[in-house]
């Protein structure tokens, strides 16, 4: 496992370094020049093809797993995720692939995973639903495809600030690696280590300096791999509660569901329309008041990065109990409910300007 971690880390690190160093050769296609969009908070054009080092690290780690531990099926993890990764990468380079084609590409990848890896959801520990999932294969297939695609899309939703989605994904993979170790699933443990290594190499350049972004390709690959490992953990090991992976990913998933509700029912706009009211954006605008008003690129980049730790802490509220109570369905259900209450309460507190002072990070430009 250490070999997998080291090789995936260093390959991801060097591929990202190569892309950054030679960005002048591919900037026409890869740089994110849109600095004024409603969901744009970076100060300078940055390569948004961080999915390439993530994919390289994953492929290398799975290759080591297949070669050293005779787990040849590990390489299939990478190949079934290619449709989701490629759709996101094409959007990163052309800016012409909409959210629906990317989502359908992820559905296609989930379908491949269902048949090639046997990654299907057949239980949620709710008897009425479980009977449909077990007895009607089409229901299980559709449920799996929608769940996997939904998680991948949700991870893309929270990919807005330096280190945010990357570190949250590390937390999730660490929790799933722990459970894979407890149930002695070497293949899933190795895949988790490959992803942690790939993320570590990428994050070296992404946080806090923001020299490369994961982009849609990286975000969809991350989300897809999280979902596939989760589905296989539950499917291969009856002792693992299906509510364990749900609690692990509840931050990005509930962020997506709440955003759909907010846009559709509170604002009366299409859920696909971008806006500046996601929780991480509110944290940036109303809690991270560090050097507000400064136009210095260094200040803007650091303020961007200071946003992420707030959301890391929020993610830990769900990931830590998920890891502790991975076998106990009703306890996990309770923590899911507690998280939704905490999320909505925090959101309402920030949107109504009722945030406690100790949560607000302040430093004025006049204090320089």
Q: Which long-range contacts (CB under 8 A, 24 or more apart) does 344-350 make?
A: 344/258, 346/279, 346/314, 347/258, 347/279, 347/282, 350/279, 350/282, 350/283, 350/286, 350/287
Quote the CA–CA distance of 86 and 221 in Å, as a whole number: 9
Q: For the segment 61-72, what is each residue's pLDDT rounded down to a tens digit?
A: 999 998 887 777
> Is 156 annotated as a binding-site member?
yes
Comparing 69-73, 126-130, 153-157, 299-303, the range with the smallest average pLDDT is 69-73
DSSP, res 97: -
User: Token pair for residue 100?
Assistant: 């629906």
- The answer, yes or no, to whether residue 40 has pLDDT greater than 70, is no
Q: For the segment 106-131, what is each residue's pLDDT rounded down to a tens digit?
A: 999 999 999 999 999 999 999 889 99
Secondary structure, 3-state, 275-332:
CCCCHHHHHHHHHEEECCCCCCHHHHHHHHHHHHHHHHHHHHHHHHHHHHCCCCHHHH
Q: What is the structure's pLDDT at 303?
A: 85
Q: Distance of alpha carbon 41 from its chain centroid, rounded?
A: 18
- The answer, yes or no, to whether residue 172 has pLDDT greater than 80, is yes
Comparing 25-29, 47-51, 147-151, 352-356, the range with the smallest average pLDDT is 25-29
- The answer, yes or no, to whether residue 368 has pLDDT greater than 70, is no
Residue 118, sorted as left (phi over 0), alpha (psi -120 to 50) or beta, turns out to be left
Q: For the segment 195-239, what is each residue's pLDDT rounded down to a tens digit?
A: 999 999 999 999 988 899 999 999 999 999 999 999 999 999 999
Q: What is the structure's pLDDT at 300?
A: 83
């Amino acid at each position: 496992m250490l070999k997998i971690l080291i090789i995936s880390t260093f390959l991801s690190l060097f591929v990202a370094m190569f892309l950054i160093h030679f960005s002048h050769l591919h900037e026409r296609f890869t740089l994110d020049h849109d600095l004024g969009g409603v969901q744009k908070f970076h100060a300078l054009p940055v390569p948004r093809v961080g999915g390439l080092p993530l994919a390289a690290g994953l492929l290398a780690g799975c290759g080591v797993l297949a070669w050293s531990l005779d787990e040849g099926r590990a390489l299939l993890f990478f190949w079934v995720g290619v449709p989701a990764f490629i759709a996101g990468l094409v959007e990163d380079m052309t800016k012409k692939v909409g959210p629906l084609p990317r989502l359908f590409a992820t559905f296609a990848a989930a379908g491949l995973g269902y048949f090639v890896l046997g990654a299907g959801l057949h239980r949620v520990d709710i008897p009425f639903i479980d009977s449909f999932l077990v007895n009607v294969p089409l229901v299980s297939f559709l449920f799996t495809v929608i769940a996997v695609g939904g998680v991948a899309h949700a991870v893309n939703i929270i990919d807005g600030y330096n280190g945010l989605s990357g570190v949250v994904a590390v937390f999730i993979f660490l929790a799933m690696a722990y459970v894979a170790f407890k149930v002695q699933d070497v293949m899933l443990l190795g895949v988790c280590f490959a992803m942690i290594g790939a993320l570590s190499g990428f994050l070296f350049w992404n946080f806090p300096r923001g020299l490369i972004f994961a982009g849609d390709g990286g975000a969809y690959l991350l989300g897809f791999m999280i979902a596939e490992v989760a589905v296989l953990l539950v499917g291969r090991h009856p002792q693992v509660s299906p509510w364990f992976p749900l609690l692990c990913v509840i931050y990005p998933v509930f962020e997506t569901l709440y955003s759909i509700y907010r846009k559709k029912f509170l604002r009366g706009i299409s859920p696909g329309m971008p806006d500046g009211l996601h929780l991480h954006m509110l944290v940036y605008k109303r809690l991270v008041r560090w050097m507000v008003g400064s136009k210095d690129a260094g200040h803007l980049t650091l303020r961007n990065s200071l946003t992420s730790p707030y959301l890391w802490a929020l993610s830990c509220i769900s990931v830590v109990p998920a890891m502790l109570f991975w076998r106990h369905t009703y306890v996990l259900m309770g923590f899911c409910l507690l998280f939704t209450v905490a999320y909505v309460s925090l959101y309402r507190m920030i949107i109504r300007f009722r945030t406690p002072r100790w949560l607000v990070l302040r430093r004025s430009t006049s204090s320089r």
